[in-house]
Amino acid sequence: MFKVNMPYVICTKVSDQFRATVDTDVTFQSSDGVLFHIQRKHVEATTGGFPPSTIPTFGQIVPLTEDAVALELLFQFVIPRRHPSLNDIDFQLLLKLAESAEKYEVYAAMNACNLRMSQMIHVHPVEILNHAIKHDYPYIIVKTTPFTLDLELQDVIARLPAHLLVPWVREKSYEWNAQVVHVLIVLCVGNIPATMDKRNEIDAAL
């Protein structure tokens, strides 16, 4: 959720695309100290996660937790201009942008990120599945899951959060007998003691 009371570093740089003008009336700061000057009316019109114009900032700089690279992209979806293409950006940056868009409810960026991720399912299925489950995009979950079932178990364990491993193994379990599935799930959640209650929970999930 949006916060304005977090500490921020001393600013030494202003974004080239978001410099102060006579019309800009709110200033955001990235986690690495870059300033972004924007009109609040655009922020209020295109997002749902930033405070509305009725909440004053008293001229203060509003610190955000994202770095300048991510915010440079994100804010281009806030102001009234052609949105940037996401076709050539690094996948890790796409993930950062997608998380920022969800956090601040930048709707145009959310849609653009989902579209681009849908085109990259065959390359990064586990990460995209994780994002889709976290933010409740059923159509991406349906499209992505089949691409993860042929992956090596260790690769999935390394990249999928623990709470998603049981459902994933359950989906893949048609290939294995019940005893093998049981052992694999215990290994997947190896950071949790395999108590009798946990075993019962695993069995119930299957």
Q: What share of the chain is helix, strand, coil (3-state, %, to 5)?
A: 50, 10, 40
- pLDDT value of residue 51: 64
Domain ranges of the chain: 166-206
Per-residue DSSP letter, 132? H
- pLDDT value of residue 3: 47
- Please choose, from the candidates 33, 34, 66, the residue with its C-alpha nearest in 3D space to the C-alpha of residue 49: 66
Q: Measure Cα distances from 123 to 60, 102, 118, 120, 150 in Å.
A: 42, 22, 10, 5, 13
User: pLDDT truncated to tens, each residue of the chain (206 aa)?
Assistant: 444 445 545 556 999 999 999 999 899 999 999 999 999 999 999 999 876 655 556 567 899 999 999 999 999 999 999 999 999 999 999 999 999 999 999 999 999 999 999 999 999 998 998 899 889 888 898 888 888 877 777 777 777 777 777 677 666 665 544 544 454 455 454 544 444 554 454 455 44
- pLDDT value of residue 148: 81
- pLDDT value of residue 179: 46
- pLDDT value of residue 157: 72
| Residues in contact with 136: Cβ distance below 8 Å, sequence separation at least 6, in sequence order | none
